Structure 1
Amino acid sequence: MSLPILTGMVVGSMVGAGVFSLPRNFAQATGVLGAVGAWLIAGAGMLMLAFTFQTLAVRKPHLDAGVYAYAKAGFGEYPGFFSAFGYWASACVGNVSYWVLIKSTLGAVIPAFGEGATIAAVAVSAIGVWAFHFMIMRGVREAARINQIVTVAKLLPILLFVVILAVALRGDVFGPNLWAGAARTPGALFEQIRATMLVTVFVFLGVEGASVYSRYAQRRADVGRATVLGFLAVLALFASVTILSYGALPKDRTAQLRQPSMGGVLESVVGTWGAALIGCGLIVSVLGAYLAWTLMAAEVLFVAAKDHDMPVFLARENERNVPVAALVMTSALITAVLAVTLFSDDAFTFTLKLTSALSLIPYLLAAGYALRLALTGETYDDTPRGRGKDLTIAALATVYTAFLIVAAGPTFVLLSCVVYAPGTILFVLSRRERGLRPFSVPELILFAVVAAGALLGITGLVTGRITI
């Protein structure tokens, strides 16, 4: 893959369902000032994470499938397994959110689809899941080229949205939207910003897209360049969509819009064709992002199996070098989570936040590994220049991802444990295939903590203290 294709994978991975839901999600949490603060924090934090992936791609060029490989190299096999499994599960749940949003969009004209989580919507979505599955079976490189074409097509309506709202921005609407709520204090503003953090994580998922496909890159240096270029372009786009929406409608009205809320905002400016344009753009965008994320999810399982950190059957490939067993497992989990959405009060918000929460551990471990390299000086013997800069970037990325875990709150941390704990079965199987003990003492302690969190999560679901 060349630099443009790798950059397309990054942009294609990030520009999916999230951008189309930004106006409503932000309006429910904060006003203009809080939105600006949220994007500054998220942009700076994710930029540090993007720079971290760039540094690791150069410092550790032999590590493929970046997020998982970095966690294993830095902290051992079980944390590495958690990173691989969590990243894979996050991708699968995120893909479910794409189908929910597509069916919610179509629900405006096909009532049987409702808000995207009806029986009809889930059934049609499941058919779509397996249709994509068989298309990807034709080959990873072919699917990546399709993603590049789709990336260009889906950006056009979003860019048109930004241009129209910039021209039509109303000062008499924008001004009253500066603040949210009665309390106009720094503490209240911080709480509003914190409430948007999982949303910003969701829309930035995929920043590591180029590092996941590092084994396909024509030049290793292109992996880091593609990561930073793709991130900066997407940050500018996301911030523009959010801020300009406050100049079209009062915040309270935007907070009540049907998803995709970008359609309702544009409709208020240009009429009904605006909602139709955004609806079409969303379907193209989401299907493209779904393709990119399915590819990345299967790739992570495949590489983990090749490294003997997943059962060996997941390393099976077909004649076109597609990781077929990993792809089957990916499509199966997506289908299962689709069924779970039938019991959710707000399927899109639930899958969005769970996706973000599951991704935080892999991100934290990758940032922590970069911090460890800079602190110990590993890989800096021959090229010591830049070590101080790399140390600062890695420290900031680590603090940011740790803050996100705190911002996620206990509910989604416990739900993440519910997903992680049973996944450990795959780790035990892979260890037995190599004739090794399932856990070392530190790994057993870590598993006990995760299992306890899973038990608390299940108890909360049963008693109704945790709702989905």
Structure 2
Amino acid sequence: MTTTEATVAHAHKLSMLTLTALVVGSMVGAGVFSLPRRFAAETGVAGALIAWVIAGSGMLMLALVFQNLAVRKPQLDAGVYAYAKAGFGEYLGFFSAFGYWASSCVGNVTYWVLIMSTIGAVVPGLGDGDTLLAAAISSVGVWVFYLLIRRGVREAAAINRVVTVAKVVPILVFIVLALFVLDPAVFADNWSGHGDLGSLPDQVRGTMLATVFVFLGVEGASVYSRHARRREDVGRATVLGFVMVLSIFASVTIVSYGVMPAAEIAELRQPSMAGVLEEAVGEWGKVFISVGLLVSVLGAYLAWTLMAAEVLYVAAADHDMPRFLGRTNAADVPGPALLMTTVLVQVVLVVTMFSEDAFNFALDLTAALSLIPLLLAAAYALKLAVTRETYADRPEGHTREYVVAALATLYLTFLLWAAGLDLLLLSFIIYACATVLFVMTRREQGRRLFSPRELVIFALSILGAGVGVAGLVTGWIEL
């Protein structure tokens, strides 16, 4: 490569600002606009404060894990998947790649459901985003974005940076206006929530999946590490983006409790933030937030589709997915991986029409699918600290990084318990089906399908999937 070519290639890499925008853009999406109702249905002010302290602390540890791994293992690209493979072998690495990809796809469905639900307030035929008309219109949007992203990673990332700024503004306006009208008496009445919400620990547990969902994307810079101008920017963008988003999410939740009774917030139509602002300032507040939501959600959809396709591509390039997923077009976009991503989003859109609560079902399943990949990444960081791999030449920070990795692993283990058995079994069904791709990959390479250790993991996934299918058939697991 000539000096001129190298300079051009460097210029086309992603800056720290763009990486931070990817992190913020990935997290600030549908979830933040649904937080008031989601929290009010589960807990009051006290439980919300505790939940954000736990979630903020736990996710900060995870953000620091990605920062540390970016420095300790700079040769590993596509973050979540690469760390799982390096730490625990090809099969669990495959599971991590597929699970992260699947969670991204299901998460993208929540965006379209929320868009249709928002417009459904004036177009009854769209319902809560789960009608046939809503699915049809959403499907058109899905394929339009597919065509846009095919133009190139850099173009889509630049659009995401602009959209990130545009969508944060209405959220900040919401926080400021809600603070101006905050009623101390209403806030005090909402301290313990409404009705019989159970014990405080149960209330906090009920909010955990919502916090996981809104924080998904904290690893966004790690996923795009191969496009970064400087490797150290990956970790910095991760932490900076996380701190910005945490302050926004917690503020949106807490100030809402001072605007109207929690019982009324819990009954609001999604996006509930619009209903809260309507109560605070009138009809224009609802319209303002609804427009902001459309911009926010479309931007987040763009970022998540990019990351989902990137994970499949890198896994295929590392010979852990079928080779057809490793092809790129002239714009450096992994076309087959992008197409497969779009097809799964389309399929899940159809499934949501049969769910009792399409938005919350997709939200919870997204969070549950993401937990295993994130847990494996944290556990890999812990493994490095325990074995002292990479610390012989760079021993500085060992104790701190050991503690950070241990706390992140503990937090994600807690989230698996908080998710509940139903969602974990549904996740097993998806993971078990994914093994077809793993078998295809091994056959392409002429290798043995499973090692003894991998066969045990496969058997456990099949067992979990079988129990999950039985639960769906008998009705004790509901969509």
Q: Which residue of 2 aligns with 1:347?
A: 358
Q: Which residue of 2 aligns with 1:134?
A: 147
Give the superposition deviation at 1:463.
1.5
Letter of the 1:213 counterpart = Y
Q: Which residue of 2 aligns with 1:383?
A: 394
Q: 1:194 aligns with which of 174, 181, 205?
A: 205
Q: 2:349 aligns with which of 338, 343, 355?
A: 338
Q: 2:423 aligns with which of 399, 409, 412?
A: 412
Matched residues in 2 for 1:136 and 1:235: separation? 28
The answer to whether structure 1 residue 50 and structure 2 residue 50 are counterparts is: no
Residues 308-363 of structure 1, C-alpha deviations (whole Å, 9 max, x = no match): 00000000111111000000000000000000011000000000000000000000
Q: 2:191 aligns with which of 172, 178, 194?
A: 178
Q: 1:265 aligns with which of 272, 276, 282?
A: 276
The answer to whether structure 1 residue 23 and structure 2 residue 36 are counterparts is: yes
Give matches, 1:227-266, under 5 Å: 227-266=238-277
Q: Which residue of 2 aligns with 1:5?
A: 18
Mapped contact 2:194–2:262 kept (Cα < 8 A): no
Residues 380-417 of structure 1, C-alpha deviations (whole Å, 9 max, x = no match): 11110100000000000000001000000000000001
Matched residues in 2 for 1:342 and 1:377: separation? 50
Q: 2:453 aligns with which of 442, 446, 458?
A: 442
Matched residues in 2 for 1:119 and 1:429: separation? 35
The answer to whether structure 1 residue 274 and structure 2 residue 274 are counterparts is: no
Q: 2:444 aligns with which of 433, 439, 444?
A: 433
Matched residues in 2 for 1:259 and 1:387: separation? 45
The answer to whether structure 1 residue 14 and structure 2 residue 27 are counterparts is: yes
Identity of aligned residues (%): 64
Q: 1:63 aligns with which of 61, 73, 76?
A: 76
Give the superposition deviation at 1:180.
2.5
Matched residues in 2 for 1:291 and 1:178: separation? 37
Q: Which residue of 2 aligns with 1:97?
A: 110
Matched residues in 2 for 1:243 and 1:406: separation? 25
Give matches, 1:316-331, under 5 Å: 316-331=327-342
Q: Which residue of 1 aligns with 2:121?
A: 108
Mapped contact 2:153–2:306 kept (Cα < 8 A): yes
Q: Which residue of 1 aligns with 2:464?
A: 453
Letter of the 2:236 counterpart = R
Matched residues in 2 for 1:357 and 1:25: separation? 17
Matched residues in 1 for 2:461 and 2:369: separation? 13
Q: Which residue of 2 aligns with 1:205?
A: 216
SS in 1 for 2:108: helix
Give the superposition deviation at 1:181.
5.0
Give the superposition deviation at 1:168.
1.2
Q: 2:52 aligns with which of 1, 22, 39?
A: 39
The structure 1 segments of at least 4 consecutive aligned residues displaced by more than 3 Å after TM superposition are: 181-184
For the structure 1 residues 255 and 311, does the alpha-carbon distance in structure 2 shift closer, same or farther, using more than 3 Å as the test? Answer: same
> Which deviates the most, 174-183 or 375-384?
174-183
Letter of the 2:363 counterpart = L
Give the superposition deviation at 1:458.
1.1
Residues 424-458 of structure 1, C-alpha deviations (whole Å, 9 max, x = no match): 10011111111111111111111111111111111
SS in 1 for 2:86: helix
Mapped contact 2:328–2:335 kept (Cα < 8 A): yes
Letter of the 1:138 counterpart = R
The answer to whether structure 1 residue 214 and structure 2 residue 239 are counterparts is: no
Matched residues in 1 for 2:195 and 2:478: separation? 28
Matched residues in 2 for 1:232 and 1:267: separation? 28
Matched residues in 2 for 1:18 and 1:388: separation? 35
Gaps spanning 5+ residues in structure 2: where?
1-13
Give the superposition deviation at 1:183.
7.2
Q: 1:76 aligns with which of 84, 89, 92?
A: 89
SS in 2 for 1:243: helix
The answer to whether structure 1 residue 401 and structure 2 residue 433 are counterparts is: no
Matched residues in 2 for 1:282 and 1:456: separation? 38
The answer to whether structure 1 residue 123 and structure 2 residue 136 are counterparts is: yes
Matched residues in 2 for 1:342 and 1:258: separation? 18
Letter of the 2:124 counterpart = P
SS in 2 for 1:196: helix
Matched residues in 1 for 2:193 and 2:235: separation? 38
Matched residues in 2 for 1:408 and 1:425: separation? 26
SS in 1 for 2:420: helix
For the structure 1 residues 183 and 98, does the alpha-carbon distance in structure 2 shift closer, same or farther, using more than 3 Å as the test? Answer: closer
SS in 2 for 1:207: coil
Q: 2:323 aligns with which of 275, 296, 312?
A: 312
Mapped contact 2:432–2:458 kept (Cα < 8 A): yes
Q: Which residue of 2 aligns with 1:166?
A: 179
Matched residues in 1 for 2:336 and 2:260: separation? 48
Q: Which residue of 1 aligns with 2:9?
A: none
Give the superposition deviation at 1:129.
0.4
Give the superposition deviation at 1:182.
6.4
Mapped contact 2:371–2:415 kept (Cα < 8 A): yes
Mapped contact 2:194–2:263 kept (Cα < 8 A): no
Q: Which residue of 2 aligns with 1:366?
A: 377
Q: Which residue of 1 aligns with 2:169?
A: 156
Residues 225-266 of structure 1, C-alpha deviations (whole Å, 9 max, x = no match): 000000000000000000000000000000000000000000
| Cα RMSD after superposing both structures | 0.9
SS in 1 for 2:165: helix
With normalisation by structure 1, the TM-score equals: 0.99
Aligned length: 466
The answer to whether structure 1 residue 144 and structure 2 residue 157 are counterparts is: yes
SS in 2 for 1:109: coil
